[in-house]
Each structure stands twice: as structure tokens, then as C-alpha cells.
Amino acid sequence: MNLRESSSTAVRSLLGNKVRSGLTMLGIVIGVAAVIAMLAVGHGAQQAVTGQIQSIGSNLLFVIPGSAESSRVRMPIGSAQTLTYEDALAIAQPANCPSVAGVAPEVMHSVIVVYRGQNVSTRLYGVTPEYALIRNYEVAEGEFISPAHVNTSALVAVLGAETARSLFGDEEPLGKNIRISNTAFRVIGVLAPKGGTGFGSHDDMVLVPLTTAWARLGRRSVHGGTAVSVINVQVLDERLVGQATDEIRMLLRERHRTPFDEDFTIYSQADILTLANQVTGVLTIFLGGIAAISLLVGGIGIMNIMLVSVTERTREIGIRKAVGAKRRDILSQFLTEATLLSIIGGALGILLGWGISQAIAAISASSGTPIYAVLSPGAVLLATGFSIAVGLFFGIYPAARAASLNPIDALRHE
């Protein structure tokens, strides 16, 4: 019996028990749909995080206070006081770090911003004019912080898109006064939205001049200078990231007089991207593994139904063997039926899984943390291959049992 004959026989058998075949395929459909949906959402989240990290700028290094041991789990922005504004000025000197294109120190505070009856809890960053260029921020309305604002410690603020929307709604924010720590700040600009995910938003912030943040929210001294939370460094070229890291490390060791025990940590944009991809990758595999369990349950359903089918068709098997059917013919017939069940169920499961992933993406977008579903060809091939493998694996035993039946005993079966 060739493949064509086995397939036509399998189709007739499955159509002869439509309800039973449909219920059997349902387990495979649900299993494949769960795998497809989880992988699509997981890949979408991974791409969203990657895009968010890449949107903060290009060829970036982040010099963080604290040693590498203290920042192994998280980036301790502001948790230690070991970097100074003077360190940032030294890094910006071409004679010290020739691979550096720009430097933007910042200080960060958690604040409550008030406008009339609206209170918003957000992050306040004290920054310099270079911050917008290095961190790739664009101003949608108004202007960014200028050197004059920094030199005069001006009480001005630039709002992130989300913060502006939360405070002002449809009202025009430019020129209005907001209050931060009982001090009035005039809004001079609103940043263009960058978007964000559950991993954080670049649109929920307030930017003020660095000197204003020191004057109004406190100034701390360390190493004979004024402490900053982070030093953002832009490298001249992506190929010079390693060289720039070494230059900054040697300079800060000398300035802090710590030739062996560094009191700072340098992260590259690639380091953060790798860490984020590892986290989302593990999460995707974990969710896909849980979803794959339902595929195994569907496979057990296939085995159960095929065993029932063997019992019901014992006399048919006996007749086939009596007229010359070989063991491999019976084996291929029942394996074809099991595989056909899994293939059809897998195809329906892919369509259902894609629909579920789109529904999840729509729900996440409506909640303000958009995660787009990305269905990769690899995910489709994985789900299809796994469903076929499940059909073959769980169909082998019933097929082998049918093929091993003694024709005389099979003919006597009632």
C-alpha cells in the first residue's frame, strides 16, 4: 500500500467518525494554538524591548556608581555616590578619552509633580543640553534646556509626552507653571513620544537643568566634587566602544585613586540589550514549554482514540491480512491516520494561536503597554513539526498493535 492509498483510507476512516475525530484533533488544536500564541507574544515582547533600548541612543556607555559586584542584579542608579560632575567633565576632554564623542551627566530623583488638581508621581532628571542629542530625545513642542538655563539655574522644565498628557490632558502645557517640591517651574518644552513597555517608559519624566536640580533638590559632595547619578557617554564609533570603555576606566581609577577596586561600573548598550534578550528569551521558552504540555495531552488523546479504532476494526484488519496485506501496510495505514489527525489539528492550531496572540496584543495596547505579536517562520515550523512528531509518537503503539494482530484471531473477533 503506497502513501496515496494509505492517505485515502485514513481520510475515509476519519470521516466515518467525524465527531470522534474532531474531539481528538481538539487536543492538538489547543496545544499548537497555545504554543504559537506564547511564542508570538514572547518574540513580540523581545522585539519591543530591543527597540526600546536601541531608541535611547547609539554607541552609548553608561557609567554607573558602585562596583560591578553591587550592580550585578540591577543598575543602581543613584543608589551609590561615587561619580561626580567633575568626572564627567574629565571624560569629555579629548586628551583624556579620545574615543568619546559626547558626555551628559544626570541626577535622578523621584518626585510628585502638581498642576492645579492633578498630581503625578514621576522621575525628575537634572540634565545638561547635551542630554537630548546623546540620548536621542526630540522636542515635539517648545525648546530643550539650553546652556543659559544651566548657567542661571533657571526654574524651567521639559516634560515627557506621557507626563504632559497626565498633567494637562488636551490643554496646552507650554508656558504653564507646575510645582515640584513646592517650587514653581515653567514648562518650556514637551518631548516627542518614544513609547515603552512593561519594562519602563521613556515618556514618563520631567527634565530640569542640572544646576537647578542641585539647588532645589539637594547637592551631595563626593571625591571633592558634586555627585551625579549616571554619566551618559556617546562613543565616536561602534567599533570604538571597547576602547572608550578602557579609556574611561583608566581615567576614573586615577581620579578616584582606586587602581584595583573600582567604585563604578560601565555598561554598554550591547550589555543591556544582551541582558534584556536573555530575560525575555528565558520567559518565552518557559511559556512555550508550559504550552507544549497541552500538546502532549492531545497526543495521549490520539493514542487513546487509535487504540479504540484498532479494537473496532479488528475484523477489518484480519480480512486485510487474509487477502495479502503485509505488516507494513497495516502499520502505515494507522500511522497515517494518527499523523493526519495531528497535521490537521496543527494547521487549525496555528490559525487559532495567531488569533489569540493578536487578541493579547490588542488587550495590551489598550492597557497602555503595547506588545506586538510576532509570528516567526521558525515558530510555525516548530509547532508543525512538534505536532507531527506527537502524532507519530503516540500513533506508533496503536499501529504496531494493529500490525501484530494474528489474522485468524482477528477474523474470529466479534
User: pLDDT tens, 138-181?
Assistant: 999 999 999 999 999 999 999 999 999 999 988 999 999 999 98
CA distance 265 to 316: 75
pLDDT band, residue 112 (cuts 50/70/90)? very high
pLDDT exceeding 90 applies to what percent of the chain?
31
Digit-coded pLDDT (tens) for 274-316:
777 777 777 777 777 776 777 777 777 777 777 777 776 677 7
User: What residue ranges do the domains of the chain occupy?
Assistant: 3-53+274-412, 81-262
Residue 63's nearest CA partner among 255, 331, 291, 303 is 255
pLDDT band, residue 45 (cuts 50/70/90)? confident
Strand pairing report for 183-191 and 156-159: parallel
- Length of the chain in residues, anyone? 414
CA distance 359 to 367: 13
Contact predicate 57/198, CB 8 Å: no
Give mean pLDDT, residues 21-39: 81
pLDDT at position 5 is 64
Q: Which amino acid is at 53?
A: I
pLDDT band, residue 367 (cuts 50/70/90)? low
DSSP-assigned states of every residue in 265-286? EEEEHHHHHHHHHHHHHHHHHH
